[in-house]
Structure 1
Amino acid sequence: MAQVQVRDVPRTTEAAGPAPKAPTPQTPARPVTALRTPPSFTAVLRHRYCGRLLIASVTGRMALGIVPVALILAAQRDGHSLATASVLAALYGVCPALGLPLLGRLADRRGLPLPCHLGAVLVTAALGALALAGTTSLPFTAVCVALAGAGCPPLEGGLRSLWPTVLPDAAHVRTAYTLDSSTQEIVYVAGPALAVVTATWLSPAAALALAAAATGAGSLVFATARPARAWRAAARRRDPLGVLRPPAMRLLLFALVFLGGTVGALDVASIAVAGRQDAAWLAGALPATFSAAGLLGGVLFARLQPATAPQPRHLLVLAALFAAGWLPLLAPLPAPVVLALAVLPGALFVPLLTVASLTVTALAPPGTSTEAVGWMSSAIRLGVAGGTALAGPLGGHFTLPLLAAALCALLLSAPTTSTVAPAAA
C-alpha cells in the first residue's frame, strides 16, 4: 500500500542570506483503510450502479435455486420416479460446472454483454420448452436440462469483475465480495421456497417458467448497465490452460471442491438426522439455519474483517475453524440442539467463501477474472454434487461434511497456497 512521502526541505547556510521561513511540516497521510471501520453493506450499495448490478445478478441466478426443486416436482407429476427426478436435478446441478468457465472466458475476451445474452437465451429457451412440453420424454427433458444448466450466464464472475470499476477503493471491494457471498445464500433459500409455492399454487411448469423469466430479466438488466457494457478485461496471454496455469490456483480449486462437498452432504444429513430423531421439521430447518447463519456471518465479517487485504493465514484459519465447527454435530444430541449447533459452521461458511474468492481473484492471470470465478463456481458445484452422492451410501451422518471440511483445510495449508497473498482488490 503506497505511503505518502514528505521530501526534506534543504537547509540554508548563513552565507546564503537569511534562512527562509520553513514550511509547516505536514503529517504523512496514513492509509485510509487502516484508520477507519471497514465499509458496511449499505456504504457499498450507496454507490452508483452497485444496487442494480447486485439485484440483477441475484435475480438472474435465482434459477439455480428454483430449477432443481421444480424439476423434481414436474417429473413426479409426469409419472417419473423420485430416482429419475433426482437424476435430472443432479444433471442440472453439474452442467453449470461445464458452462460457466467457458462463458467466463468468452466474457474476458469479448466483454460481458455477449455471454450474458447468449446464456440467457439458452436458459430461457430450454426452460420455456420444458414448461410447455413437460418432462414426459426423458431424452428431450435431459437435453433441455443440460442446456439450461450449461447456459447459466456468468453473472457471478461478471459482478466480481465489475466491483473494482464501480467502487472507490479496495476496502469497499472486499466488503462487496462479502456482500455477494452473503446474497448467494438467498438464492438457495428463496429459490426452493419460490419453486414450492409456485408449484403448489399454479403448477411445476409455472415454476420452471418463473426460473426462465428470472434468468432472462436479471441477465438483461445486468448486461445493459453501463459498467457492464464498458468493461473490458486486461490483455491476456494466449494460454490454453488460462486460469488453471498457476499451481496454487489448481490446488485452491481442488480445496473448494471439498468445501462444496460439505454443503452437498449437509442436505442429505439433514434428512437422515430428521428421520433418526423422528423430527420431520429438521430436514428443512437445518439447511435453512445453516444459510441464515451464513448471512449473519457475512454481516459480521464485513464489520470485523482486517483493514487490509486478507492474508493466506486468514484463509487457513477460517478453514480450520469451519472444520472444527462440525465436530459438536457428531454427538447424539436432541434436534433443537443440533439445529443450534449448525449455526457455527454456517456462520463461518460465508467468510471462508469470501476470502477464497479474493484469493482466486489474486491468483488469476491478468485478463481472466471472470473465467476464474467460473472455475471457482464449478469446483464448488462439483463438490456439492459429490457430497450429495456420497452422503446417502454413508448413512447421512455429519462425518462426511466434517471430513470434507478437514480435507479443505489440509489442502489450504499446503505451501503452494499458503505463500500466495491475495490482492487488495
Structure 2
Amino acid sequence: MSEAGKTSYRAVLAVPHALSTFAAALVGRLAYGVVFLALVLTVSRSTGSYSAAGAALALFGLTSSVLAPYRARLVDRHEARRVLLPMAGLCSALLAGIAVVGWQSGAHRFALWVLAAAAGGCVPPLGAFMRTLWARLVPDEQLLQRAYSLDAVGEELLYVLGPLLAGIFTAFNKPALGVAFSAALLLGGTVFLASSPAAANTDPAADPDSDSPDAAAASASRSLWAGTGLIDPVLVTGGLGLCLGALDLLVVAFAGAHGSTAEVSWVTAAMAAGSAVGGLLYGARSWRWSLRARLPVLAVALGLFCAAAGHAGTMVLFVLAAAVVGLLISPILTTAYLISGELGAIGRGTEASAWVNSAFNAGNAAGAAGIGLVLTHLSLRWCFALAGAPLLVPAALVLARLARRDGGGDGDAEPSGSTETAEPSKTPGTPETTIAPSDNIHALS
C-alpha cells in the first residue's frame, strides 16, 4: 500500500473496531441533532407558548453544557460502560417522560421544565468519549488527524440531518415522537458504543500509563489547567462559538435585507457543505506547522472572512462567502480537539474534550444573545465585523503566548501536534504526545 493509502480516510475506518465504534457513536450523537428542535416543537405545541419552549430548551442546554466536563471526568476515572450506560438510561427515560407529558395539549410547563433540566444534566458525553477512543484506536499521529477530521465532519452533518428528522415527526402532527425518537437513538447508540471492544479497553485501572510522572502530577494537582495548554483550544473554540452564534441571527437579517428570509436555507446549506469539505481537505493534508501554530492562524482567517461576508452586495455573493467561512469551521474544531486529546496521555482526554465542547456551546448561546442587542443599533457590516472579533482576540492571545514561549520567556511549555517535535515517550495504543510543565496557565470554561 502507498504512503497516502496508509493514511487515507479508508485506512482510518479499516482500523479494527473503528467503523462499528464510530457508527454506534454517530447513532447516539444523532439524538442531540434531533432533540433540540423536537423539544421546542413539543413544548410549544403542548403548552401553546413559545416562551415556555424557549425556557425548556435553555434549561436543557444549560445543564448539558455546564455539567458536561464533570460527567466526562467520571468517564475518565471509571470504566466507561459503568458510567455511560446509567447516564444514557436515565437521560432516555427523562426524554421519554417529556414525550409522554407533552403528547397532548395542556401540559404543565413547570413539569416540562424540570424534566428538560434533568435530562440535560445527565446527557452522556458521547462525542468527547469517541474522540478519546480515536486516540486509542488509530496507530499514528497523521491517521489521528484524519480520524478527528472525519469525526468533526460527521458531527456537522448530524446537526443538519437531525432537524430534518424532527420536522418529519412534526409533519405528522406528533412532534413528541421526535423527542421519543431521540431517546431511542441515545440509548441504542450508547449501548452499542459501550459494548464495543474499543470501549472495553478504557478501564483506568488497566491503563499502562496510569503510573507515569505526568499522570501522578495531574492527579496531585486535580486540575487540567496547570501546564497542559488546554487554555488555547478552549479560548479559540469559545470564540468560534460566539462567532457562529452571532452568524445564526445575522444570516437571517442579511437575507431579509437583500431578498427573502426563505433564502436563509441556502446560506446554512452552503456553510454546512463548506465545513464538510474543509474538514475532509484539512484532515487529508500533512502539515509542517504544529497544532498550536495552526489553531490561531485558522481562527484569524475565519474571523476576517466573517467580517468580509458583511460586505457582500447580493445573496449569491453572500452564499459564496458563507461557504468560505464554513471551510474553516471543521478544521478549527479538529485542531482544537487534537490539542485537547493530548491529555489522553494522562488519562484526562474525555474531560479535556468536554471543556472544549462546552466552551463552544456557551459561546454559541452568548453570541446569539449578544448580537441581538446591537443589531438594531449598528449596520450589518459592523455587526459582521463584531461577529468575527471574538475569533481575532483569542487568536492574538494564543499567538502572543507562542511567541513568548519560543522567545525563551516564561511562557508555557506545551505539547505539540507536529511530528517534528522531540521524541516523546510512547504508550501502546496512545498517540505520541508530550505534556510538559509550565509556570502559569488559567482558562475559561
Range of TM-score over shorter length: 0.7 to 0.9
Question: What residue identity is the alignment partner of 1:263?
Answer: L
2:390 is matched with which residue? Answer: 404
Alpha-carbon contact 2:35-2:166 (below 8 Å) kept: yes
- 1:85–1:239 CA distance, 2 compared to 1 (3 A): farther
Shift of 1:241: 4.2
- 1:227–1:418 CA distance, 2 compared to 1 (3 A): farther
Shift of 1:363: 5.2
- 1:160–1:309 CA distance, 2 compared to 1 (3 A): farther
2:42 is matched with which residue? Answer: 74
Question: What residue identity is the alignment partner of 2:316?
Answer: P
2:175 is matched with which residue? Answer: 204
Shift of 1:156: 1.5
Equivalent position SS for 1:326? helix
Residue in structure 1 matching 2:165, options 189, 194, 207: 194
Shift of 1:99: 2.6
- 1:343–1:305 CA distance, 2 compared to 1 (3 A): farther
**Structure with greater Cα Rg:** 1
Shift of 1:37: 6.9
Equivalent position SS for 1:390? helix
Question: Aligned pair 1:302/2:283, yes or no?
Answer: yes
Alpha-carbon contact 2:343-2:349 (below 8 Å) kept: no
Give the TM-score taking structure 1 as reference length.
Answer: 0.85
Question: Aligned pair 1:181/2:161, yes or no?
Answer: no
1:318 is matched with which residue? Answer: 298
Structure 2 spans left out of the alignment, 5+ residues: 406-413, 420-430, 432-445
2:355 is matched with which residue? Answer: 375
Equivalent position SS for 2:229? helix
Farther-moved stretch of structure 1 (288-297 vs 166-175): 166-175
Provide the aligned C-alpha RMSD in A: 2.4
Please give the alpha-carbon distance, in whole angstroms, between the structure 1 residues aligned to 2:386 and 2:59.
22
Tell me the alpha carbon deviations over residues 249-277 of structure 1, each in whole angstroms, 9 at most, x when there is no partner. Answer: 23541332111112211211122222222
- 1:45–1:309 CA distance, 2 compared to 1 (3 A): farther
Please give the alpha-carbon distance, in whole angstroms, between the structure 2 residues aligned to 1:216 and 1:230.
21
Give the TM-score taking structure 2 as reference length.
Answer: 0.82
Farther-moved stretch of structure 1 (80-89 vs 296-305): 80-89
2:84 is matched with which residue? Answer: 116
Question: What residue identity is the alignment partner of 2:91?
Answer: V
Please give the alpha-carbon distance, in whole angstroms, between the structure 2 residues aligned to 1:275 and 1:334.
12
Q: Runs (4+) of structure 1 moved beyond 6 Å? A: none
Shift of 1:58: 1.6
Residue in structure 2 matching 1:362, options 342, 348, 365: 342
Equivalent position SS for 2:15? coil
Tell me the alpha carbon deviations over residues 2-40 of structure 1, each in whole angstroms, 9 at most, x when there is no partner. Answer: xxxxxxxxxxxxxxxxxxxxxxxxxxxxxx99x657722
Question: Aligned pair 1:352/2:332, yes or no?
Answer: yes
Equivalent position SS for 1:248? coil
Tell me the alpha carbon deviations over residues 185-243 of structure 1, each in whole angstroms, 9 at most, x when there is no partner. Answer: 01211111111112212511000001101101110110000110122344244346432
Please give the alpha-carbon distance, in whole angstroms, between the structure 2 residues aligned to 1:359 and 1:88.
34
1:130 is matched with which residue? Answer: 98
Please give the alpha-carbon distance, in whole angstroms, between the structure 1 residues aligned to 2:199 and 2:173.
36
Residue in structure 1 matching 2:235, options 249, 254, 262: 254
Equivalent position SS for 1:243? coil
Farther-moved stretch of structure 1 (308-317 vs 328-337): 308-317
Equivalent position SS for 2:230? helix
Please give the alpha-carbon distance, in whole angstroms, between the structure 1 residues aligned to 2:221 and 2:55.
32
1:59 is matched with which residue? Answer: 27
Shift of 1:246: 3.3
- 1:239–1:207 CA distance, 2 compared to 1 (3 A): farther
Tell me the alpha carbon deviations over residues 34-90 of structure 1, each in whole angstroms, 9 at most, x when there is no partner. Answer: x65772222211222111111111211122221221122112212343233223222
Structure 1 spans left out of the alignment, 5+ residues: 1-31
Alpha-carbon contact 2:245-2:368 (below 8 Å) kept: yes
Question: Aligned pair 1:160/2:131, yes or no?
Answer: yes
Question: What residue identity is the alignment partner of 2:283?
Answer: A
- 1:417–1:218 CA distance, 2 compared to 1 (3 A): farther
1:243 is matched with which residue? Answer: 224
Equivalent position SS for 2:374? coil
Please give the alpha-carbon distance, in whole angstroms, between the structure 2 residues aligned to 1:408 and 1:222.
35
Alpha-carbon contact 2:307-2:387 (below 8 Å) kept: no
Shift of 1:180: 0.7
Alpha-carbon contact 2:55-2:113 (below 8 Å) kept: no
Question: What residue identity is the alignment partner of 2:150?
Answer: L
Question: What residue identity is the alignment partner of 1:167?
Answer: V
2:268 is matched with which residue? Answer: 287
Please give the alpha-carbon distance, in whole angstroms, between the structure 1 residues aligned to 2:126 and 2:158.
13
Alpha-carbon contact 1:246-1:363 (below 8 Å) kept: no
Please give the alpha-carbon distance, in whole angstroms, between the structure 2 residues aligned to 1:384 and 1:296.
22
Question: Aligned pair 1:422/2:416, yes or no?
Answer: yes
Please give the alpha-carbon distance, in whole angstroms, between the structure 2 residues aligned to 1:133 and 1:274.
37
